[in-house]
């Protein structure tokens, strides 16, 4: 879990930082995990020449990571083949303190381009966790020659889309969910806790989402949502959007459970409407006042059904 008390600062990288950053990338263990290193990464002249040019490239956003007034790493956004990507490096002696996660959260608040992608070696589990804590979703993989290992290896591709409305500047998703549930009145809080635990039991390895209900300008436009799973929604114009498969949300009169992606819009009401209890059932939403008003086992059946149809 990220330590939110860490005094992490970002500032634009200065040419005077490059000597320190060069030394970081000479560490063999760090290089092995990064894997996709330049062939000449030990050539300081080549390094300084390359990064001096990058510092003057308006398409690149280079930031130096400062912890307790010491340079501990770097983070950057660049564009390759029309896609925006991020890369970061933390001095190995500062690993395991949550610095990378907090630095990336801060960077994503500064660099608002979406979608934005991250690539990481298949066995770089620490970096994978950092991306996931910051809302990135693994969307695929690729293979390439890793100079640091002198072999072709698999790398995972992660993506953060505008639809994943995660508040990166505050906390990770699990903390947001916990705080959201805790903020509800007693009955709703208890019901949401029961639903959250039950869905996690049904769908234990699902991707977690927290959508804060705000648009790009920070205006609240809908109720916050907790989401589970990953669904690729396809529109008639060919566009796609990543979204959750199951969601829950408190509203003014009770709780809504969203079961997304079922093609037959009458399926939920026809299949579960008569047996679920006092609930309004539409094409993708089951809405009720309290859990005691419904048959939670029937609700779980509907959730499992929806997951099966969209997985």
- Residue 219 has a pLDDT of 67
- Residue 3 has a pLDDT of 53
173-310 CATH choice from 3.40.190, 3.30.160, 3.40.50, 3.90.1150 = 3.90.1150
Spacing of C-alpha 204 from chain mean position: 17
| CA proximity to 102, closest of 173, 177, 167, 169 | 169
- Residue 77 has a pLDDT of 96
8 A C-beta contact, residue 55 and residue 62: yes
- Residue 269 has a pLDDT of 97
The segments of the chain whose pLDDT lies below 50 read: 1, 165-171
8 A C-beta contact, residue 286 and residue 267: no
- Residue 218 has a pLDDT of 58
8 A C-beta contact, residue 95 and residue 1: no
Spacing of C-alpha 233 from chain mean position: 18
The domain segmentation of the chain, as residue ranges, is 8-160, 173-310
* Residues in contact with 212: Cβ distance below 8 Å, sequence separation at least 6, in sequence order: 165, 166, 167, 176, 224
Measured between alpha carbons, how far is 208 from 133 in angstroms, rounded to an integer? 10
pLDDT digits (tens, 9 = 90+) for 95-105: 999 999 999 98
- Residue 165 has a pLDDT of 42
DSSP string, 263-279: S-TTHHHHHHTTTSBS-
Instruction: Dig out the tokens for 166 from the structure.
Output: 């995660």
Q: Which CATH architecture has domain 8-160?
A: 3-Layer(aba) Sandwich (3.40)
pTM to 2 decimal places: 0.55
Three-state secondary-structure class, residue 75: strand
């Amino acid at each position: 879990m990220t330590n939110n008390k860490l005094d992490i600062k970002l500032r634009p990288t200065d040419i005077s930082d490059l000597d320190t950053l060069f030394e970081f990338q000479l560490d063999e263990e760090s290089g092995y995990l990064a894997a996709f290193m330049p062939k000449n990464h030990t050539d300081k002249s080549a390094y300084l020449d390359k990064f001096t040019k990058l510092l003057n490239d308006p398409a690149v956003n280079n930031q130096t990571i400062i912890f307790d007034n010491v340079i501990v790493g770097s983070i950057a956004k660049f564009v390759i083949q029309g896609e925006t990507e991020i890369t970061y490096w933390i001095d190995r002696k500062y690993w395991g303190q949550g610095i990378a996660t907090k630095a990336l959260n801060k960077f994503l608040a500064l660099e608002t381009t979406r979608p934005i992608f991250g690539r990481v070696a298949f066995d770089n589990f620490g970096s994978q966790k950092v991306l996931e804590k910051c809302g990135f979703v693994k969307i695929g993989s690729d293979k390439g020659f890793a100079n640091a290992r002198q072999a072709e290896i698999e790398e995972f591709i992660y993506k953060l889309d505008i639809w994943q409305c995660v508040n990166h500047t505050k906390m990770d998703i699990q903390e947001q969910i916990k705080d959201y549930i805790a903020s509800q009145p007693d009955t709703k809080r208890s019901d949401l806790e029961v639903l959250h635990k039950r869905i996690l039991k049904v769908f234990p390895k699902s991707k977690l989402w927290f959508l804060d209900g705000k648009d790009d300008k920070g205006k609240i436009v809908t109720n916050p949502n907790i989401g589970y799973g990953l669904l690729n929604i396809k529109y008639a114009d060919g566009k796609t959007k990543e979204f959750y498969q199951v969601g829950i949300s408190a509203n003014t009169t009770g709780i809504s459970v969203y079961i997304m992606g079922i093609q037959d819009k009458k399926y939920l009401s026809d299949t579960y409407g008569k047996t679920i209890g006092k609930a309004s059932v539409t094409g993708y939403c089951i809405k009720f006042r309290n859990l005691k008003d419904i048959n939670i086992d029937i609700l779980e059946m509907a959730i499992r059904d929806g997951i099966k149809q969209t997985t």
